[in-house]
Amino acid sequence: MYNTRQLTLQHSIRYFLAALFWIPVVFFSLLLVRNTLPYFSFSSNFSFIEERAILFLKPVYRFCFYIHIFAGMFCITAALTQFSSLILKKRKKIHISMGKIYVLVVLLLGAPTGLYMSFFAKGSFWERILFMFMALYWFYSTMKGLQTIRKKNVLAHKNWMIRSYSMAMTAVTFRVYHIFFYYFGVDHLHNYEISLWISVLGNMLVAEFLIFRKSRSYLKSFAH
């Protein structure tokens, strides 16, 4: 009886912590999608576009921008289905179909356009380098996720897709940090740079922590 209660308590704590993590992730992801949709009115009355008015005169940059934000919206939404244990167990076809589309969108649209736009990113030389790294790492981790699942290595596939998703989520976490530092009176440029670095490095650390936990749990269950 004691062991049963202990297991029930452990499961309850696990579900609570999972909810504590996923509820804000889902909320801010959908909020980002909602706030991005108005860009597809193709109006120039947005601060991001106004700051880069000269760049938006270039058809290639303008094309890459709209493709990139479309890819970002889709990838953030699609990725939410990829980490649902319910969908994975009961609707595996949805997981596979959405996963294939996610990979194609990242490799063909999101990462290449992100890499192109990184050369014109706001901030110093180091912020542009960081954007280049993000695009390349997003491409690489997604490609590795595809390669490992083709080899039926499910654990490695999950790990690489967590890394891929961590890069997609920088669009969300950046805005959360930006709002946070804004309320503490950090000026716009420093806020932009600090939020960007914390978002990228923070997401990578969280991804590696989740991978470590999942890998350890998998090895324990395999040992038993």
222 — pLDDT class (breaks 50, 70, 90): low
pLDDT at 154: 87
Give the mean pLDDT of the chain: 85
pLDDT at 129: 96
Note the pLDDT tens digit of each residue in 122-160. 888 999 999 999 999 999 999 999 999 999 998 899 999
pLDDT at 17: 57
Q: What is the SS3 assignment for 31? A: helix
- Sequence spans of domains, the chain: 2-164
CA-atom Rg of the chain in angstroms: 19
pLDDT at 221: 58
Whole-prediction pTM value?
Answer: 0.85
Of 191, 212, 202, the C-alpha closest to 167 is 202
Residue 1: pLDDT over 60: no
Are the C-beta atoms of 116 and 58 separated by less than 8 Å? no
Tokens for 42?
A: 């193709």
Note the pLDDT tens digit of each residue in 44-71. 888 889 889 999 999 999 999 999 999 9
170 — pLDDT class (breaks 50, 70, 90): very high
Q: How many whole angstroms separate alpha carbon 178 and alpha carbon 47? A: 15
C-alpha distances (whole Å) from 163 to each of 127, 148, 171, 184, 224 are 20, 13, 14, 30, 28
Average pLDDT of the residues in 110-130 = 94
Tokens for 89?
A: 């167990």
pLDDT at 90: 66
Residue 11: pLDDT over 60: no
